Chain A
Amino acid sequence: MKRLLLLGLVLMATAITYAGGYRVSLQGQRGLAMGHTGVAVVNNAELAFFNPGGLVFLENKINAAVGVSAVFSDVVWQNDEFGEMARTDSPVGTPFYAYFSYKLSDKFSVGLAAYTPYGSSVEWEKDWAGSHLVNDIELAAIYVQALASYKITDNLAVGGGPIYVSGSVNFNRNLNRTLTDLDGNRSNVTVDASGVSAWGWSAGAMWKPMDSLTIGVNYRSEILVKAEDGDANFNNIPNSPLTPFENTTFDATLPLPAELTIGASYQLNEKWLFAFDYNRTFWDVYESLDVDFANPNIPDSNNPRQYEDSSIYRFGLQYTANETFTLRAGYYFDESPVQSGYFAPETPRNDSNNFTGGLTVNVSDRVAIDAAFLYSRFKEIDESYNFYQENGQNVPFEGTYKSSAFTPGLGVTIKI
Chain B
Amino acid sequence: MKNYFKYLAILALGVVSCEPELENSIEDGELYTNGSADFSNYVALGNSLTAGYADGSLYITGQQNSYPNILADKFAAVQETDGFTQPLMNDNFGGLLAGGTQIPGFDTRLVLAVGANGPFPARYRGATPTTDITNVLSGPFNNMGVPGAKSYHLVAPGYGNVAGVSAGLANPFFVRFASAANSTILDDALAQDPTFFTLWIGNNDVLGYATSGGTGTFQLGNPNFAEYGMNDITDPTAFAGLYGQLAGALAQTADGVLLTIPDVTLAPFFTTVPNNALVIDAATAGQLTAYFQAVAGVFTQVLMQQGVPQEQAVAIASQYAITFNEGPNRFLIDVPASQTNPLGFRQMTQEELLLLTIDQGALAAGYGSVEFTQEVGEVIAVLQGGGSPTQEQVGILFGAVSGIDDKDALDSEEILNIKQATGLFNDAIAATAGSLNLGLVEIDEVLGRLNNGGIAFDGGVITSDFVTGGAFSLDGIHLTPRGYAVVANEIIAEINATYGSNVPKADVGAYGTVTLSQDVQ
Give the shortest distance, in Å, between A36 (CB) and chain B (any CB): 18
| In the complex, A177 has a CB within 8 A of chain B | yes
| In the complex, B114 has a CB within 8 A of chain A | yes
Q: Which parts of A222-268 form the interface with B (CB within 8 Å)?
A: 238-243
Q: A87-B19, A238-B516 are in contact. Are A80 and B31 (CB under 8 A)?
A: yes
Q: A178-B510, A361-B1 are in contact. Are A12 and B516 (CB under 8 A)?
A: no
Q: Which of A100-108, A151-159, A333-341, A403-411 contacts B (4 or more CB under 8 A)?
A: A403-411
| In the complex, B21 has a CB within 8 A of chain A | yes
Is B4's CB under 8 angstroms from A178's CB? no
Q: Which parts of B97-149 form the interface with A (CB within 8 Å)?
A: 111-114, 119, 124, 126
> Interface size (B, Cβ < 8 Å)?
56
Is A82's CB under 8 angstroms from B18's CB? no
Is A182's CB under 8 angstroms from B92's CB? yes
| In the complex, B312 has a CB within 8 A of chain A | no
Set B4, B16, B482, B507: member contacting A129, Cβ < 8 A:
B507
Is A75's CB under 8 angstroms from B459's CB? no
List the A side residues contacting B18 at CB < 8 Å.
404, 406
Bound complex: CA of A180 vs CA of B1, how far in Å? 58
**Inter-chain CB contacts under 8 Å: number:** 137
Set B15, B93, B513: member contacting A406, Cβ < 8 A:
B15
The range of chain A's interface size is: 35 or more
Is B510's CB under 8 angstroms from A129's CB? yes
Q: Which parts of A291-349 form the interface with B (CB within 8 Å)?
A: 324
Main secondary structure of the interface of B (DSSP, over half): loop
| In the complex, A289 has a CB within 8 A of chain B | no
Set A75, A83, A371, A393: member contacting B78, Cβ < 8 A:
A83
Bound complex: CA of A80 vs CA of B27, how far in Å? 12
| In the complex, A183 has a CB within 8 A of chain B | yes
Q: Which parts of A35-93 form the interface with B (CB within 8 Å)?
A: 72, 74-76, 78-85, 87
Give the shortest distance, in Å, between B196 (CB) and chain A (any CB): 17
Set B7, B112, B126: member contacting A9, Cβ < 8 A:
B7
List the A side residues contacting B60 at CB < 8 Å.
184
Q: A239-B519, A390-B459 are in contact. Are A400 and B92 (CB under 8 A)?
A: no
A179 — nearest CB in chain B belongs to which residue? B512
Give the shortest distance, in Å, between A242 (CB) and chain B (any CB): 5
Bound complex: CA of A324 vs CA of B131, how far in Å? 74
Set A72, A83, A177, A183: member contacting B26, Cβ < 8 A:
A83
Is A404's CB under 8 angstroms from B516's CB? no
Set B8, B15, B507, B510: member contacting A371, Cβ < 8 A:
B8
List the B side residues contacting A76 at CB < 8 Å.
19-22, 25
Is B19's CB under 8 angstroms from A178's CB? no
| In the complex, B11 has a CB within 8 A of chain A | yes
Bound complex: CA of A79 vs CA of B111, how far in Å? 33
B12 — nearest CB in chain A belongs to which residue? A408
A378 — nearest CB in chain B belongs to which residue? B20
| In the complex, A395 has a CB within 8 A of chain B | yes
Is A178's CB under 8 angstroms from B512's CB? yes
Give the shortest distance, in Å, between A222 (CB) and chain B (any CB): 31
A6 — nearest CB in chain B belongs to which residue? B7
Q: Which parts of A1-41 form the interface with B (CB within 8 Å)?
A: 5, 8-9, 12
A positions within 8 Å CB-CB of B: 5, 8-9, 12, 72, 74-76, 78-85, 87, 129, 177-180, 182-184, 238-243, 324, 359, 361, 371, 373, 375, 378, 380, 390-391, 393, 395-396, 400, 402-404, 406, 408
| 17 examples of A-B residue contacts, CB within 8 angstroms | A82-B505, A83-B31, A177-B459, A178-B509, A182-B92, A182-B93, A182-B111, A182-B517, A238-B517, A240-B112, A240-B113, A240-B516, A240-B518, A324-B1, A371-B8, A404-B18, A408-B12
